[in-house]
Amino acid sequence: MIKKILLLVLCIAMQIVSAQITTSINPTIAQMQNLLQGNGILVSGLTITCPAGGYATFNNGAAALGGNLNSGILLTTGTASNIAGPNTTANNLSYNASAAGSPLGNALSGGTTYDGCYINFLVTPSCSTLSINYVFASEEYPEYSVGTYNDVFGFVISGPNPAGGNFNQSNIATLPGTTTPVSIQNVNNGTSNTGPCKNCAYYIANPPGLSYDGCTTVLTASTLVTPCQQYTMTVGVWDDADGSFDSGVFLDFNGISCTNTSTINATASTNTLCSMQSVTLTAGGGYSSGTYSWTSSANGNLASTSGQTVIANPTGSSSYTLSYQDSTLCSGIYLSQVVNVNFNVPSFSVTSNPGGILCTGETTTLTAMAGAGSYTWTPNTFLSADNIPSVVCTPTASTTYTVNYEDVNGCSASSVSTVSVSLCTGINSLSEPEKSVAVYPNPVNSKLYFTSEFKFDHIKVYDQNGRQLVVPVNAGYINCNQLNSGVYTIEFKTEQSTFYRKFVKMD
């Protein structure tokens, strides 16, 4: 019973770990820009101002953040590496980077800000509405949600206002249907999470998947824009009044996007190749009036670079990028999708243990080192099985075996191994003192000496695969200097009998 309980606890712990949000701190500018750029959008000129280690990409976030917010960008006023739950103490996220805030942060909070973490970039939309999904979280919750501390998140836009004039650092990170900015003072349930409620329909106390003491539900920042015009945006988070008790904002993957724009997909006739062959690439979605273009990595070998369907002849693992443009998209803005084709040509060898020449009645284990898949050994004579990777062989005659292997992707390969057998007619008599053959030292480094009362017609040395080797044999010893380390067999042949001795060569 105790074992069952321990197993249950272990399984639950493994599920918790596998579902835990993960972060990768300090991504590159290019990575951040690609993560921001959603459907029908062109993002450029991104810059980052954050404390060291304060920004990251995140994955596996759906369970902790809710909705479809599974991956994207994390900006924090502290460290982005330790935000995964569970939330074990009241103030376990409090890193003061002693960094400045910014005039924008001060304007948003109404006070003096610190440890600002924000990104600036240019965005050109192909649509009339821009939006992004996010979650705001803070360690200031709940104790400091009422008072003078007011950590804030801002999504600030400047550029042409379709209603007339221009946006001038307008914050669109507001509660749904209002102009109320998202901050700890505007979204909370009191200093003890028991009230009074202030927009607490959007508040989650002690979120189980995060170390923050509180966070918002998944919210959407959106605004009307003029298509094909360029806007300046700032997205960031700031500590207010002091640098203690961190806050963070989680931005959705491909976060800034246009709604109601075209969607496309790219598929390959196969994503795994066993050998060089043609692959058909197909584009889906979009409009009939749109244009499709293709590019590839070095081994891609596209027969054509335009059209909904193209042929490729890859010579190795390749990546193909589909780019799409139509009249609903601004000039220079493309939708893109990537499809990968991987080469998987299995190769393997067969090992035998023990190796070398077997005497009749002895066994060896043959093992095909290929991995997951199906195996077929032919012939199956003298084998313990013919459909598993490792088989026991008890041969009465020398036999060459072929093992055919097919991996989980349907790719196949084969390998050959020969098991050599000798009658070893003189072995039994070796136990008789007057007819013994002795070899020493064993293991050997240089000279292997042998003594016997017999006169030998020949002395031959074989490796573990049964191949005869050219080794100097002198009166009373064998010179092993040229041999590699391994196990070898000596054949001592007289007029009436053949004796075998195995020895180990060491460097």
Query: Is the same domain home to 185 and 253?
Result: yes
Query: Is the same domain home to 180 and 95?
Result: yes
Contact 159, 225 (CB under 8 A): yes
Query: Is the same domain home to 27 and 49?
Result: yes
d(CA 290, CA 306): 11
| Residue ranges of the chain whose pLDDT lies below 70 | 1-19, 89-99, 242-243, 259-260, 423-435
φ, ψ of residue 351 in degrees (nearest 5): -110, 150
Each residue's pLDDT tens digit, 377-389? 999 999 999 999 9
Tell me how far CA of residue 179 lies from CA of 173, 186, 392, in angstroms: 9, 11, 77
d(CA 430, CA 163): 105
Residue 387 has, within 13 A of its CA and on its CB side, a CA count of 1
Residue 12 covered by a domain = no
The residue out of 289, 311, 343 marking a domain boundary is: 343
Residue 3 covered by a domain = no
Query: Is the same domain home to 362 and 339?
Result: no
Helix (H) or strand (E) holding 323: strand 318-325
Residue 330 covered by a domain = yes
The residue out of 374, 404, 422 marking a domain boundary is: 422
The residue out of 359, 389, 422 marking a domain boundary is: 422
Number of domains in the chain: 4
Question: How many Cβ atoms are within 10 Å of 387's Cβ, its own excluded?
Answer: 11
- For residue 376, what are the domain limits? 350-422
Look at strands 318-325 and 335-343 and give their pairing: antiparallel
Query: What pLDDT sits at residue 258?
Result: 79
Query: What pLDDT sits at residue 148?
Result: 74
115 Cβ contact list (under 8 Å, min separation 6): 51, 54, 77, 78, 96, 97, 98, 99, 101, 238, 239, 243, 246
CATH, residue 501: 2.60.40.10
Residue 6 covered by a domain = no
Query: Is the same domain home to 137 and 240?
Result: yes
Classify the C-alpha dihedral 281-285-291-293 as positive or negative.
negative
Residue 8 covered by a domain = no
183 Cβ contact list (under 8 Å, min separation 6): 108, 109, 150, 151, 152, 153
Question: Which among 263, 337, 254 is positioned nearest to 68, based on CA atoms?
Answer: 254
Query: Is the same domain home to 415 and 435?
Result: no
Query: Is the same domain home to 36 and 69?
Result: yes
Contact 266, 302 (CB under 8 A): no
Query: Is the same domain home to 81 and 190?
Result: yes
Query: Is the same domain home to 336 and 372?
Result: no
Query: Is the same domain home to 204 and 298?
Result: no
**Residues paired with 119 in a beta bridge:** 48, 235
Query: Is the same domain home to 283 and 244?
Result: no
Question: Which among 326, 210, 340, 362 is positioned nearest to 272, based on CA atoms?
Answer: 340
Q: Which stretches does DSSP call E strand in 126-207?
A: 129-138, 152-160, 166-171, 203-205
Look at strands 335-343 and 257-258 and give their pairing: unpaired
Contact 39, 258 (CB under 8 A): yes
d(CA 21, CA 64): 7
Query: Is the same domain home to 100 and 249?
Result: yes
Helix (H) or strand (E) holding 49: strand 41-49
Angle at 454 between CA 434 and CA 458, to 5 degrees: 150
Length of the chain: 507
Residue 10 covered by a domain = no
